[in-house]
Amino acid sequence: MNIIIFILVLGILVFIHELGHFLFAKMFGIRVDEFGFGYPPKAFTIGNFKGTDITLNWIPFGGFVKIFGESDDGSELTEEQKKVSLIHKPRWQQFLVMFGGVLFNIVFAWILLSGIYMSGINAPVGSAPSGYDFNETELIVSSVNQNSPAEAGGLLPGDIIVEFFSDDTQVSVSDETIEDFSNFINEQYPEDENIGLVVLRDESLEIINLTPEEGIIEGKYAVGVSAERMGELKLSFFNAFYYGALNTIGFIKNIAIGFWDLITGSISADNVSGPVGIVKQVGDASKVGFQYLIGFTAILSLNLAVLNLVPFPALDGGRILIIFVESILRRRLNPKVINAINGIGFIVLIGLMLLVTFNDITKLL
User: Could you tell me the end-to-end alpha-carbon distance of the chain, in angstroms, rounded to an integer?
Assistant: 20
Closest CA to 32 of 90, 91, 84, 108: 84
Closest CA to 17 of 317, 308, 340: 308
DSSP-derived pairing of the beta strands 32-49 and 221-222: unpaired
Q: Identify whether the C-beta of residue 139 lies closer than 8 Å to the C-beta of residue 163.
A: no
Return the number of other C-beta atoms located less than 10 Å from residue 192's C-beta.
12
- At 176-221, the pLDDT tens digits run 555 556 666 666 665 667 788 888 888 888 888 887 777 666 667 7
**Predicted pLDDT of residue 174:** 59
Q: Identify whether the C-beta of residue 230 lies closer than 8 Å to the C-beta of residue 124.
A: yes
How far apart are the C-alpha atoms of 155 and 215, rounded to whole Å?
18
Q: Using omega within 30 degrees of 0 as the cis cutoff, is the peptide bond preceding 124 cis?
A: no
Q: Is 248 helix (H, G, I), strand (E, B) or coil?
A: helix
User: H or E element: which one contains 352?
Assistant: helix 335-364
Q: Is 259 helix (H, G, I), strand (E, B) or coil?
A: helix
Q: Identify whether the C-beta of residue 306 lies closer than 8 Å to the C-beta of residue 314.
A: no
Residues 6+ apart with CB under 8 A from 162: 172, 173, 174, 198, 199, 200, 205
CATH of span 137-233: 2.30.42.10
Q: Which residues of the chain have pLDDT under 50?
A: none
How far apart are the C-alpha atoms of 158 and 218, rounded to whole Å?
29
User: H or E element: which one contains 38?
Assistant: strand 32-49
- Chain mean pLDDT for the chain: 81
**Predicted pLDDT of residue 155:** 84
Q: Identify whether the C-beta of residue 258 lies closer than 8 Å to the C-beta of residue 267.
A: yes
**Predicted pLDDT of residue 127:** 66
How far apart are the C-alpha atoms of 365 and 360, rounded to whole Å?
9
- At 90-109, the pLDDT tens digits run 999 999 999 999 999 999 99
**Predicted pLDDT of residue 165:** 76
**Predicted pLDDT of residue 213:** 78
Q: CB pairs under 8 A, 24+ apart, for 288-295?
A: 291/116, 291/119, 291/121, 293/5, 293/9, 294/112, 294/115, 294/116, 295/112, 295/113, 295/116
How far apart are the C-alpha atoms of 165 and 144, rounded to whole Å?
20
How far apart are the C-alpha atoms of 15 and 22, rounded to whole Å?
10
Overall pTM > 0.85: no
- Every domain of the chain with CATH number 2.30.42.10 lies at 137-233
Instruction: Report the catalytic residues.
Output: 18
